[in-house]
């Protein structure tokens, strides 16, 4: 990210961070006190710094987002200095990024590049019509990016955002028409609007969503896109919407008769066709929030802007500047007086007649101030010399005396030579000082970058070695499933998922058919909220993702759905559904979804091995010709359920059925019709026939018990199973 701190940058950083990406930021200033939440590392350097190339090589970014028209380091007004700095900084960043030879560069432009009204929506092919310096700088930024795209093959995406607006936190945040209207309503109790002006407004959070789609995309068709909400509104309609949010009669709407009927609406069809556009924050929802916030902080927003300085104040400032420039000349003239007097006294003196005080005077000012003051002091000295000579001779005689010219030439040659040497030495000192300062700044910059690299290296080393979601840790934890008996794998799979995703609420459902799934194990009461048996096809949003083999993420926080879910397939058939609750919002990211997919694959391997093992031993596990498990197989299965029940992973109930030995097969066929596919019949070593009801409490087992009794089989619920 390249840009100054602001609500737009904060929204964009929050979105990218939420999706599990690591963010570095180039601040554009040397102020280290500005905070950037959710940023992995920040670099406090101007955009035109010589170390930008080293920063790019150090970070090696996959994507660079240049805030461009929305960079708070630059003013939005007609400031030529900012426009020049903007172009120079962008060129330096582009040049540095192009040396990497990989990655995507995203430049954020705005509708400001169009300042002539258009009757139809503006497409990307429409030539820009920028007028002021700032708009021209933004438009030139687009041209620079396109030149690097076509001439250097750099992957560039230019996004022209249409009328970005936000909830202003301070007066300086107001840059768009909605904020200006609210400010005008607070200060003056009226809003001047023009029916002919039309535009489409885009909230910062929606803009962040659209930008992230380009950030996340592997490729894009075009280098330039218009991005607009498509919700066109006129100034008059917006003003009336704001008026209704104030008390009746508090704000009046007036018609603005100005000729500036500039209607600019960007056509974002190419972007919508490629990435899709969905508005989560319509203007009807945000405008009331803006009005409410500005009303709550009325003292800050209603304060009138400072007036322009008065003429007297500006005149005083100019006079002060002139006086500062004249001080050396005044000092020169004052010092001339004592030297003039000393020269007059020395003329008739036996000891000082050979001493030239004017020459000393000129040397003094040439040494202290340089050539300019040496010239001025030499002129004063010549005037004083001529004035003294005219005491005894006429001015004409003085002008005809060749010794006068020899003295003047001597005075100017010595003064200008010494002054030149002074200026030259001063220039060399300044150049040396500038070079030392430049090298010192570069050394400091290199030290800062090196410290940043050391911090990142240490953080990444720690993550690789210790992080819970590294591939090594995931495999280490999931491989523990291999230590369990085949009947126990799915019970402890829920514990494994809970540990890896750091959530106490995990459930595993086994798919019974193409529409129903039954709860097999769960780690908490919250994880059982959907029930023991669900018709998962009715959960349309979740089912669509699972059928497409994608991880479902409950971004709408719908209470009917789990926060995340993933399906495990075997031979093109959905076998299991992993459901997770209790995940913080900031961890519901693409990275967490990818980790859940990896966990699913590793669990699938353990489950497939267990199922193949049980299928291979099927003839040995069941009594011949029946669906009744033998004593050894049923004892192992019952033990697994009881251990899982004691750990809170499942519920189970046992029913003892009294039958004669010669009626076991017949009873097995009859009772199986009254049970679910997830229930089991089996014998224990005591020879008794038992039914194991999965995910069923002793109370709920009464329904099955009544069916058995009505069918003529005397049965009872076993309160405590002793194996």
Q: What is the pLDDT of residues 633-661, one digit of tens each?
A: 788 778 877 877 777 777 788 888 888 77
CA atoms of 30 and 705, how far apart (whole Å):
77
What domains sit in the chain, N to C, each tagged with a CATH number? 7-302 (3.40.50.720), 311-436 (no CATH), 472-615 (3.30.450.40), 618-718 (3.30.70.270)
pLDDT of residue 617: 47
DSSP 111: G
Our CA dihedral for 402, 403, 407, 408, rounded to 10 degrees, sits at: -30
- For 152, phi then psi, to 5°, come to -115, 0
- For 469, phi then psi, to 5°, come to -105, 20
DSSP 515: S
Going by their DSSP bridges, the two strands 564-570 and 573-581 should be labelled as antiparallel
Three-state DSSP class for residue 695:
coil
Within a 10 A sphere around the Cβ of 650, how many other Cβ atoms?
24
Within a 10 A sphere around the Cβ of 95, how many other Cβ atoms?
15
Question: Which residues lie below 8 Å from residue 492, measured CB to CB, with a gap of 6+?
Answer: 480, 481, 484, 644, 649
CA atoms of 233 and 265, how far apart (whole Å):
10
Tally of residues, the chain: 723
Query: DSSP string covering 299-349, please?
Result: HHHHSPPPPPPPHHHHHHHHHHHHHHHHHHHHHHHHHHHHHHHHHHHHTT-
Residue with tokens 């076993």: 718
CA atoms of 636 and 643, how far apart (whole Å):
11
Q: Nearest to residue 82, comparing CAs of 141, 23, 25, 36?
A: 141
pLDDT of residue 155: 93
Which two three-digit tokens encode residue 114? Answer: 């169009």
Q: Alpha carbon of 29 to those of 3, 5, 32, 95, 499: distances in Å?
A: 9, 10, 8, 19, 43
pLDDT of residue 78: 45
Which two three-digit tokens encode residue 364? Answer: 């003094």
Report whether 229 contacts 206 (CB < 8 A).
Answer: yes
Q: Per DSSP, what are the bridge partners of residue 638?
A: none
CA atoms of 38 and 35, how far apart (whole Å):
10
Going by their DSSP bridges, the two strands 155-161 and 533-535 should be labelled as unpaired
Going by their DSSP bridges, the two strands 652-657 and 689-694 should be labelled as antiparallel
CA atoms of 512 and 534, how far apart (whole Å):
10
CA atoms of 187 and 696, how far apart (whole Å):
68
C-alpha 189: how far from chain center: 37
pLDDT of residue 141: 92
Residues of the chain under the 70 pLDDT cut: 76-81, 117-120, 257-262, 303-311, 347-354, 391-392, 395, 398, 400, 402, 445, 448-449, 451-453, 455-490, 586, 605-620, 625, 678, 686-687, 722-723
Q: What is the largest CA-CA distance in the chain?
A: 159
Which two three-digit tokens encode residue 15? Answer: 């979105």
Degrees to nearest 5, angle at CA 297 with 291 and 302: 85
Residue with tokens 């099955």: 704
DSSP 69: G
Q: Nearest to residue 298, comparing CAs of 384, 212, 171, 385?
A: 171
CA atoms of 679 and 696, how far apart (whole Å):
10
CA atoms of 407 and 401, how far apart (whole Å):
10
CA atoms of 507 and 493, how far apart (whole Å):
9
Q: Nearest to residue 678, comparing CAs of 667, 699, 692?
A: 692
Report whether 58 contacts 455 (CB < 8 A).
Answer: no
The region, left, alpha or beta by phi > 0 then psi within -120 to 50, assigned to residue 89 is alpha
pLDDT of residue 424: 87
Which two three-digit tokens encode residue 603? Answer: 């669990």
């Amino acid at each position: 990210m390249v840009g100054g701190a602001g609500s737009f940058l904060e929204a964009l950083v929050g979105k990218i961070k939420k999706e599990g990406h690591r963010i570095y930021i180039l601040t554009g200033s040397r102020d280290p006190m500005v905070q950037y939440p959710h940023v992995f590392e920040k670099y406090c350097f101007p955009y035109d710094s010589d170390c930008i190339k080293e920063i790019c090589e150090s970070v090696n970014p996959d994507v660079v987002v240049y805030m461009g028209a929305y960079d708070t380091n630059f003013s939005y007004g007609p400031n030529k200095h900012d426009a020049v700095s903007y172009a120079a900084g962008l060129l330096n960043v582009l040049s540095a990024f192009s040396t990497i030879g990989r990655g995507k560069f995203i430049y954020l432009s705005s509708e400001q590049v169009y300042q002539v009204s258009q009757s139809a929506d503006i497409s990307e092919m429409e030539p820009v019509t920028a007028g002021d310096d700032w708009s021209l700088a933004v438009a030139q930024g687009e041209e620079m990016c396109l030149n690097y795209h076509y001439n250097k093959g750099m992957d560039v995406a230019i996004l022209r955002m249409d009328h970005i607006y936000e909830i202003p936190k301070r007066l300086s945040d107001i840059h768009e028409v909605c904020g200006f209207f609210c400010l005008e309503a607070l200060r003056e109790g009226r809003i001047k609007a023009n029916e002919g002006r039309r535009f489409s407004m885009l909230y910062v959070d929606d803009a962040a969503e659209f930008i992230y789609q380009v950030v996340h995309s592997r490729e894009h068709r075009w280098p330039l896109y218009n991005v607009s909400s498509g919700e066109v509104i006129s100034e008059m309609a917006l003003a009336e919407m704001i008026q209704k949010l104030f008390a009746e009669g508090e704000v009046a709407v007036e018609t603005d008769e100005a000729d500036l009927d500039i209607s600019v609406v960007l056509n974002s069809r190419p972007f919508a066709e490629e990435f899709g556009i969905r508005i989560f924050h319509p203007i009807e929802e945000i405008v009331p929030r803006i009005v409410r916030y500005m009303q709550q902080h009325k003292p800050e927003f209603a304060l009138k802007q400072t007036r322009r300085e008065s003429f007297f104040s500006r005149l005083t400032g100019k006079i002060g500047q002139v006086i500062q420039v004249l001080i050396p000349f005044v000092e020169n003239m004052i010092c001339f007086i004592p030297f003039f007097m000393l020269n007059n006294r020395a003329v008739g003196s036996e000891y000082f007649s050979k001493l030239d005080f004017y020459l000393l005077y000129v040397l003094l000012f040439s040494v202290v101030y340089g050539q300019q003051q040496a010239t001025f002091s030499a002129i004063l000295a010549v005037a004083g010399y001529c004035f003294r000579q005219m005491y005894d001779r006429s001015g004409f005689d003085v002008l005809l005396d060749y010794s006068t010219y020899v003295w003047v030439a001597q005075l100017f040659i010595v003064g200008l030579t010494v002054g030149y040497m002074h200026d030259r030495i001063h220039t060399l000192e300044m150049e040396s000082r500038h070079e030392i300062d430049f090298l010192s700044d570069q050394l400091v910059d290199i030290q800062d970058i090196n410290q940043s690299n050391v911090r990142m290296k240490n953080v990444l080393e720690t993550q690789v070695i210790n992080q819970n979601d590294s591939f090594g840790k995931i495999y280490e934890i999931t491989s523990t499933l291999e230590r369990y008996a085949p009947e126990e794998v799915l019970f402890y799979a829920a514990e494994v998922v809970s540990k890896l995703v750091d959530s106490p609420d995990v459930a595993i459902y086994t798919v019974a058919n193409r529409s129903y799934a039954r709860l097999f194990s769960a780690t908490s009461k919250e994880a059982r909220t959907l029930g023991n048996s669900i018709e998962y096809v009715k959960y349309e949003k979740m089912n669509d993702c699972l059928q497409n083999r994608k991880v479902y993420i409950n971004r709408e926080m719908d209470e009917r759905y789990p926060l995340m879910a993933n399906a495990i397939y075997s031979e093109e058939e959905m076998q299991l559904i992993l459901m997770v609750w209790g995940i913080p919002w900031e961890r519901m990211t693409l990275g967490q979804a990818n980790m859940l997919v990896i966990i699913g694959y590793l669990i699938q391997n353990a489950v497939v091995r267990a199922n193949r093992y049980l299928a291979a031993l099927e003839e040995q596990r069941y009594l011949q010709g029946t669906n009744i498990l033998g004593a050894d197989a049923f004892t192992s299965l019952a033990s697994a359920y009881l251990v899982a029940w004691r750990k809170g992973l499942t519920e189970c109930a046992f029913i003892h059925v009294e039958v004669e030995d010669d009626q076991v097969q017949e009873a097995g066929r009859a009772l199986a019709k009254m049970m679910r596919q997830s229930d089991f019949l089996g014998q224990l070593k005591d020879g008794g026939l038992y039914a194991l009801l999965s995910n069923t409490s002793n109370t709920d087992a009464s329904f099955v018990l009544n069916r058995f009794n009505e069918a003529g089989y005397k049965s009872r619920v076993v309160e405590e199973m002793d194996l």
